[in-house]
Every structure is written in structure tokens, then in C-alpha cells.
Structure 1
Amino acid sequence: MRQVLLIVDVQSTFSPPEWLVDGVRALSARMPAVASVELHDEQITPFEKQLGWHPAAEDESLVEADQVFIKHGYGQSAEAIAYLKQLGVERVLVCGIQTETCVLAAGFALFDAGLNPTLITDLTVGSSLDRSGQMGINLWKHHFRQVTTRAEVIAELG
């Protein structure tokens, strides 16, 4: 199956647990990978004004990827979605930070673009509201149905 890994916001700003970084690195070394990095620009997304908080203005992905796209706010950039579409993959495996917000937003963008988003449930963490990510996993299953685990992906890769 032609597939790509989308790594959502695994960056210092969000203090990802080491197990997540290690797990995503191990998987990204075995398949094509694209990463997003969320940066703050108040003129684009008013985090400070509306939430009294904002991500860093400069940061980088903690996981190497074939392509890295900068985004501002929750959703993926149009450039990232266009790049993923051009790859002609059968599915996009999604992992990363904030299962119920940024990861879920990636799922909606992928779905709306006609791509097949599949969440890797054991390579995601939720926001401070639900660090387990279970709320986001449940929302993902409700909206997109497709979920898998790191072990299942590795078994498929052979």
C-alpha cells in the first residue's frame, strides 16, 4: 500500500513525551514522512489575543521528515495538503501532538482533500485537557473510522 506518515507538531513548544518522539522517529525512518511545525504569527492566528497563550515564533520538528511544512493555527497548510495529494498515496498515517485539536484538524483537512486519513492511536497525545488523547481518538473514529497502531503499521511494512 502506498502511504505516507504525517507528523503533526512534534516540536519543543508542546513538550512531547520522549516515548512519542522515539516512536515517531522509528516509524518515519521506515517510510516517507511529512511533518508540520506550528509557529506563532499573531497577524495570522490570534492565539495571544483570544487565548492568552501562543506557540513559539521559532521551532522545528523533533523528527526528521522528507518535507516539513510550517503552519499557523490548528489546520494544515494548503501547501502541505497539496504536497500530500501530489504523492498519490492510498492513505495518510497521522500521528502527533494534540489528538483532539491539531491532529483532528489534520484529519478533516485530509478527508476534505479526498485523502484517506488513518490515525496511529499509540503515536499521539492529547492536549492538557486530555493528555491520554482518548477523546481525540474517539472523535477520529466517529468522523473517519480509520485507526491503526504502530505495531500494525510495522507489520504491514514487513
Structure 2
Amino acid sequence: MSQVLLIIDVQPSFDPPQWLLDGIRKIVGKLPSVATVERHDESKTPFEKQLGWHPAPDDESLIDADRIFIKHGYAPSIETIEYLKSLKVDRVLVCGLQTETCCLAAGFALFDAGLQPTLITDLTVGSSLDRSGALGVRLWEHHFKHTVRSDEL
């Protein structure tokens, strides 16, 4: 099965736990990898105006992926999705931060693009609403069905 790893927003602004960094780094290099970095630009996404906070405008990925794409807002950029489609993979493995928001948004974008999003359930962290990520995993299973654990890869 051909697959690619999509790493969502593992960056300083979101203070990822060390276990997440270590777990993702064990997989990077074993298959093609793409990372997203969410940067703040109020003219593109009104985080400050609507939510009273925002990610840094200059964050970098904490994971050395093969390709890194900048995004503004929850979902991956069109360029990210087009790149993933160009790889002609059987599935896109998703891991990273904000299971029930940014990871879920990536799942919808991948699904809508005709790709098979598959969440790596033990390599994701939820938002401040549910740091365990359990809510996001349940939503993912409901909408996209496909999940795996890192030890199954």
C-alpha cells in the first residue's frame, strides 16, 4: 500500500508534548512526509478578532518533513492537497495537533479531494477542549472510518 504522512501543525505556538515529537520522528523517513504550519495573518483568517488569540506569524515545523506547507486557518492549503494528490497514494496518514479541529479539517479536505484520510490515533493531541484527542478520534471514525496506531505501520 502506498501512503504518505501528513503532519498537522506540530509547531512551537501549540507547544506539542515531547512524546508526540518522538513518535512522529520515528515514522518520518520511513515514508514520504508532508507537514503543515499554521501562521497568523489576520487579513486571511480572523483568529484575533473572533477568538482573541492567534498562532505566531513566523512559526516553523518542529518535524523535518520532506515538504512543508504554510496554511492560514484550520484546513490545509489547496497547494498541500494538490501535492498530496500528485503522489497518487492509497492513503494519507494524518497525525499532529488539534485532533478535533485542524486534523479533522484536514480529513475533510482529503476526503473531498478523493483521498483516503487515515488518522494515527496515538500520534495526535486534541485542543484545550480535550487534550486526549478522544473526541477527535470519535469524530474521525464517524466521518472517515479509517484509523491506525503507529505500531501498525
TM-score normalised by structure 1 residue count: 0.96
Per-residue CA distance 1:49-96 (angstroms, 9 max, x = gap)? 000000000011101111000000000000000000000000000000
- Which residue number corresponds to residue 72 of structure 2? 72
Other structure's SS at 1:6 match: strand
Q: Which amino acid aligns with 1:45?
A: T
The runs of 5 or more residues in structure 2 that have no matched partner are: none
- Superposed CA RMSD in Å reads 0.4
Task: After TM superposition, list the pairs within 5 Å mapping 1:1-150 onto structure 2.
Answer: 1-150=1-150
Q: Using the TM superposition, give the Cα deviation of residue 29 of structure 1 relative to its aligned residue in structure 2, in angstroms.
A: 2.1
Partner of residue 156, structure 1:
none
Q: Shift of residue 126 of structure 1? A: 0.1
Counting matched residue pairs gives 153
Cα deviation digits, residues 28-53 of structure 1 (max 9, x gap) = 12111000000000000000000000
Q: Distance in 2 between matches of 1:150 and 1:12?
A: 23
How far apart, CA to CA, are the structure 1 residues paired with 2:98 and 2:66? 22
Amino acid at match of 2:105: A
Residue deviations 1:105-147 (CA, integer Å, cap 9, x gap): 0000000000000000000000000000000000000000000
CA distance in 1, matches of 2:88, 2:31: 15
The TM-score normalised by the length of structure 2 is 0.99
3-state SS in 1 of match to 2:151: helix
Q: What secondary structure, in the 3-state scheme, does the structure 2 residue paired with 1:151 have?
A: helix
Identity score, percent: 68
Amino acid at match of 2:148: T
**Take 2:7 and 2:93, find their aligned partners in 1: how far apart are those partners?**
8
Distance 1:85 1:102 in 2: 19
* Consecutive unaligned residues in structure 1, runs of 5 or more: 154-158
Letter in 2 for 1:119: L
In 2, the alpha carbon distance for the partners of 1:27 and 1:61 equals 16
Counterpart of 2:66 in structure 1: which amino acid? D
